[in-house]
Amino acid sequence: MTTADASERSLRGVLEAAEAASPVEAVEAVTGELGRALGAARVSFLIADLAGRSLARLTVEASEHPVDQPGPVGGAVRRSGREAAQVLAFDDGALERALRDQTLSCTRRDAGWQVLAPVTERGEALGLLELVLPDEPDEQVLETVRRCAHVLAFVVIANRRHTDLFEWAQRATPPTLSAEIQRRLLPAAYTCEAAAFTLAGWLEPAGSVAGDTFDYSLGRDTLHLSITDAMGHGVDSALIATLCVGSLRNSRRQGLDLTSAAARADDDIAQHIREGEGFATGHAWTCPPAS
């Protein structure tokens, strides 16, 4: 069997493992299959947190009520039942550079060769695929890791719709109720790279935001983008933001032009809140992606 055949076999095994596993176990199934195929001493998926300051390594405790103990070297541990997340804060080291630069790295370590591959989809940095290999990998092995990391991005995106596990792992700080509402208003991906444009957005702080939102949608020949800010703070502001974003999305999906969508959002907010108790400001654009 050639190395190319082995690579295709590894990729096929990863896809089969993902399809056979439950949404909660899909990532472990993929990383486990890849680790076995490459003879890895360790393989992990490190998910990026919502604030962009750390990564979390998901593990499963043997007991639902583990005894509290110091976290492993390199990070504290958060727990929820049997779920555990080792938090690895960014320190300008190899993990942070691999994620921010979105480039694969291969470094000699005491335990072997550490390979870090960014898990991304259209520029959205979901995390890193980490492997520790006993021998220095050749280019074919590294290419297999790159391809499997890209497949893993789609596995995470597909399965996080069915479980709170990934969302929990990304939350280094528990969000407020208003921030929980705001999270549901944001686009499913904060970043989109396409042939004609690159778009990226972020909210900071991630755990207590209220009122501020952004949204986008790509049509066949048009990019729709909006940035809005509902008056005030807390849940009342989040509810106004919900009306605003919901109205803009409803108009966009009905094919209304920008002027009509803005007027309709104004009417919808005025209709559903008491007079003088709230408003939203913002900007919205529609433009050809090439611009």
| Rounded distance between C-alpha atoms, residue 218 and residue 208, angstroms | 28
Among residues 279, 182, 265, which one has the least CA distance to residue 232? 279
Q: Tokens 């220095």 correspond to what residue?
A: 136
Each residue's pLDDT expressed in tens, for the chain with a length of 291 residues = 455 555 667 778 888 888 899 999 999 999 999 999 999 999 999 999 988 899 999 876 544 444 444 334 457 899 888 889 999 999 999 999 999 999 999 999 988 999 999 999 999 999 999 999 999 999 999 999 999 999 999 999 999 999 999 999 998 888 889 889 988 999 999 999 988 889 999 887 666 777 889 999 999 889 999 999 998 888 889 999 999 999 999 999 999 999 999 999 999 999 988 766 788 999 999 887 554
**Residue 287 neighbours by CB under 8 Å, 6+ apart:** 222, 223, 225
Peptide bond into 205 cis (omega under 30): yes
Fold of 3-170: Beta-Lactamase (3.30.450)
Q: What's the token pair of residue 160?
A: 């996080």
Looking at residue 134, what is its pLDDT?
95
Contact (Cβ atoms closer than 8 angstroms) between residue 2 and residue 139? no
CATH code at 177-287: 3.60.40.10
CA dist., res. 170 & res. 47, Å (int): 7
Cα 284 to Cα 245: distance, rounded to the nearest angstrom: 11
CB 265 within 8 A of CB 240: no
- Residue ranges per domain, the chain? 3-170, 177-287
